Chain A
C-alpha cells in the first residue's frame, strides 16, 4: 500500500499535484473498499419506487401527471442531499483516525510528503467519492424522470387529442409537462448539492485535525451543518434593527464563524420549475471554493505541528 503511495512522488519530486493525486486515489479506493456504494441500491429503490407507486392525487387526470414529476424530483434530490452530506462527514471523519490506527499515517509522514499534500489528497479523495456517488444518483434520477415524463406526455397528449384540443393548447400542455422533466437547471441543483457536501467534507477535515475520535468529528460536523442553515437568520438579526446588543453580538459571532448553508438551498426552487442562471451558479461555486480552501488551509495550520 505504502509502495503505491510513494512511488509517483519519487518519480516526480516536488510535484504537489502528483502527490495529492496519488493520495486522493488511495483515499477514494480505501472508501470504495468499505462498500459505500451499496447505498445506491437504497437510492434506486426510492427513485424507481417513486416512479411506480401511484400516490393519491387531489386533482383529476388533467393535472395529476406533473405533480408526480415534482414528487420524483423532491424525493430524489432530498435523498441525494442526505446521502452526500452523510458521506462527506462520515468518510472524512473516518480517514485520519483510520490512518493512525492502521499506522499508514506514520509511513506516509516519514516520507518527504508535505502535510498539506496529505490533507489535500485525503479531502480530494472524499470529494471524488461524493462526486461519483452524486453522478450515479443523478444518472438514475434523470433516467427515471425522463421515462416518467415521456409516459405522462403521451398519456396527456392522447387525452388532449380525444377532446379535440387546439394545436396551441396541445403545445402549451407539452411545454408545461416538459418544463417539469429533466433539464439543465436540475443538473445545476445537483451541482449545488455537491458544493454543499464538499464544504462539509472540508469542515469535517478541519475538525478531525484536532478531535480525538470519529464520533466527535461526526457529531460536531452534523451540528454545524444544521446550525449553518440558521446562519442567514443570525446575519439578518445582526444587520437588522431592534435586537439588543447581546443578541446582536451573538448573532454576529455565529454569522462570522459558521458557513451559510442556506445559500445552497436553490434546489427547492428548481424543483418548483425555476431556472438557475449560470452566473449565480458560478458565484455559488466561488463561495464553495472559498470555504473549502479556507478550511483546508486551516486544517493544515493545525495539523502541521501535530505530533503522533
Chain B
C-alpha cells in the first residue's frame, strides 16, 4: 500500500461515519435544546461584543464563566454610574446565560431602580429631561424583565418581580395608562402564583393589583 492510502481510507470512513451520525446529532441537538440543556449558537453580535478571547472561551462551552466575569465588570460600571454600559453588559450577560434568573432580575433592577433614581436626582439635567430619563429607565427595566419572562416562560420570580415593579408606588407613574399597568401587574402575579411551589401571598398580590 502507498503511504497515503491508509489515511485516505480513514478519511473516507470518517465521511461515511459522519453521514451516519449527522442526522442523529441534529436530532439529539434538537432534543437537548428542547430540554433547555443546550443553548442556541451564540449570535455573531454577542461574539463581537465579548471580544475574541472571551468568545473563544464561550465557544468552548464556558458561557456561564464569561457571564460571571462580565457580571463583575457590570458591577464596576454600576459603581461608576455608567448606566448605558451597565445595560449593554447585562444584554450580553443574558445572551450568554439566559436561564440565570439572577441576571435578569439584577439587570432590570439596575435600570428600573438605580439608573432611574440617578437621573431623577441628577442636578445637571433640567427638570423635564430628568423626568424623561427617569421614565425611559423604568420602561427599559420593564422591557428587560419582560424579555426575561419570554426567555424563561412561567418563572415565578421574574413574574413576581414584574408585578412588584408595575405596582410600585414610586415607579407606576412612569406608565401613563394606570389601568393597563395594574392589569399587567395582576397578570404577572397570576403567572407567578400559578407556578408550582409558588408562595401563597402572590395570589393575594394578584387581587391587590386588581383592587
Contact = CB atoms under 8 A, between A and B. Distances in A.
Contact of B75 (A58, A229, A283): A58
B128 interface: no
A81 B18 CA distance: 25
B21 A287 contact: yes
Contacts of B18: 255-257
Interface stretch (B54-62, B117-125, B134-142, B165-173): B54-62
A168 B200 contact: yes
Given A226-B60, A255-B22, A269 B28 contact: no
Contact of A81 (B15, B60, B67, B106): B60
Interface string B1-31: 1000011011101110111011011101101
B28 A268 contact: no
Given A56-B72, A266-B37, A269-B38, A78 B10 contact: no
B78 interface: yes
Contacts of A301: 6, 9-10
Interface in A253-308: 255-257, 260-274, 276-277, 280, 283-284, 287, 290, 294, 298, 301-302, 305
B155 to A, nearest CB: 11
Contacts of A290: 21
A263 B26 CA distance: 9
Given A58-B74, A166-B200, A257 B11 contact: yes
B61 to A, nearest CB: 4
A16 interface: no
A70 B13 contact: no
Contact of B61 (A81, A168, A273, A274): A81
B97 A268 contact: yes
A163 B72 CA distance: 30
Contact of B26 (A196, A239, A302, A305): A239
Which of B11, B32, B100 is most buried by chain A, counting CB atoms within 10 A of its CB?
B32
A272 B72 contact: no
Contacts of B200: 166, 168
5 contacts: A172-B199, A229-B61, A256-B15, A269-B38, A294-B14
Nearest to A210: B7
A168 B97 contact: no
A55 B72 contact: yes
Given A58-B74, A255-B18, A268 B11 contact: no
Contacts of B74: 58
Contacts of A266: 32, 37-38
Interface in A223-267: 225-226, 229-230, 232-233, 235-236, 239, 255-257, 260-267
A280 B1 CA distance: 43
A175 B200 CA distance: 15
Contact of B29 (A196, A263, A274): A263
Nearest to A78: B65
B99 A56 contact: no
Contacts of B57: 78
Interface string B62-78: 11110110011011001
B110 interface: yes
A2 interface: no
Contacts of B15: 256-257
Contacts of A59: 102, 105-106, 109
A51 interface: no
A206 B110 CA distance: 51
A78 B62 contact: yes
A215 B199 CA distance: 58
A271 B63 CA distance: 10
A299 to B, nearest CB: 9
B50 interface: no
A263 B32 contact: yes
Contacts of A187: none
